[in-house]
Amino acid sequence: MRVFQKISDLRDHLAGYRGRNIGFVPTMGFLHVGHMELISRAKAENDIVVVSIFVNPLQFGPSEDLAKYPRDLERDRKMLADADVDILFAPTVEDMYPRPMRTVVDVPDIGRQLEGAVRPGHFVGVATVVTKLFNIVQPQSAYFGEKDFQQVVLIKRMVEDLAQPVRVVAVPTVREADGLACSSRNVYLNPAERLAARIVPAALDEAERCYREGLDDPAALETALAAFIVNEPLAFAEVVAVRDPETLEPVHSLRAGPVLVALFVRIGSTRLLDNRVIGLSNDAVTRAA
């Protein structure tokens, strides 16, 4: 595996791969099996796989966990080499942003709601860094996790609106044995919080149960799920939303088509994100993303 830190070095190297398919997996590192799933998918579908590790300051708010975000580049490097990844791009903040950014990419209707309402500016940071990484790597395909469902919707729309020549592939969420979605931030949880975190996938099961029992009113489902999460004293639900999985707009009925149940739950000081599309078969879930 080749490792690059400088944009110009990576570009020079990639020039040798003209005509071959590049699959790209952008990450913030501290890799887990969820990231590795994106990488296997990229390997299966491309000639060359490029993984980036960059904890992007633009997408963190001033009171967020940028400084303490977990990092272990050496461990990540070994995992990627073992997975036969071709290229790791691991720039520093100075490499990516040698000067303050004066240009941003904003997808306001999608990026200011749900997680974006709780984290102002987050999705401008995401759209901007992903665009810059696409420009550097110039992949044919890029792989994103459905765990960050809103991110997938936003990036698909950005690519379409700006005619970015990249196929965006959404990969289903990889979970721990008890259902908690794998996340680099799970290391923040102490043992009691880790147990409490099971309320998040349990709430998604509850949503499915309410749907199967015939509930039709999205507001009633949101209320029921908020009440379900309150049962866990360590949990605080910041976002409980039922939305259209393609536009993220509110829906009027749970029966009119598939709906996205999006959860943003704080356990102690750790924010956990999860979601499920209900009213669809699993194959169709992936297509909807």
**Is 252 among the catalytic positions?**
no
Q: Are strands 141-145 and 87-89 parallel, antiparallel or unpaired?
A: unpaired
Residue 59 interacts with ligand AMP (CB under 6 A): yes or no:
no
For ligand AMP, which is the closer residue by CB, 168 or 254? 168
Residue 273 interacts with ligand AMP (CB under 6 A): yes or no:
no
Tokens standing for residue 220: 């009633």
For ligand AMP, which is the closer residue by CB, 7 or 36? 36
For ligand AMP, which is the closer residue by CB, 35 or 132? 35
Among 150, 183, 186, 270, binds ligand AMP (CB under 6 A): 183
Site string for ligand AMP, 86-125 (x = CB under 6 A): ----------------------------------------
Catalytic residue among 32, 35, 122, 252: 35
Site string for ligand AMP, 141-180 (x = CB under 6 A): ---xx-xx----------------------x-xx------
Report whether 2 contacts 87 (CB < 8 A).
yes
The candidate with the shortest Cα–Cα distance to 277, out of 238, 246, 253, 252, is 246
Tokens standing for residue 249: 């707009």
Least distance between ligand AMP and beta carbon 219 (Å): 28
Least distance between ligand AMP and beta carbon 227 (Å): 26
Tokens standing for residue 235: 């949990």
Q: Which residue, judged by CB position, is nearest to ligand AMP in the bound state?
A: 145
Distance between CA atoms of residues 27 and 85, nearest Å: 14
Sheet-wide strand order for 2-4? 2-4, 87-89, 48-53, 22-27, 141-145, 167-171
Residues with Cβ within 8 Å of 43's Cβ and at least 6 positions away in sequence, in order, are 23, 49, 83, 84, 85
For ligand AMP, which is the closer residue by CB, 46 or 173? 173
Report how many residues bind ligand AMP under the rule CB under 6 A: 17
Which stretch, 14-22, 32-40, 192-200, 257-265, contacts ligand AMP (CB under 6 A)?
Answer: 32-40
Distance between CA atoms of residues 15 and 196, nearest Å: 49
Which stretch, 35-43, 208-216, 262-270, 274-282, contacts ligand AMP (CB under 6 A)?
Answer: 35-43
Among 128, 131, 184, 186, binds ligand AMP (CB under 6 A): 184
Least distance between ligand AMP and beta carbon 213 (Å): 28
Tell me the catalytic residues: 35
Residues that bind ligand AMP (CB under 6 A): 27-28, 34-35, 37-38, 144-145, 147-148, 171, 173-174, 181-184
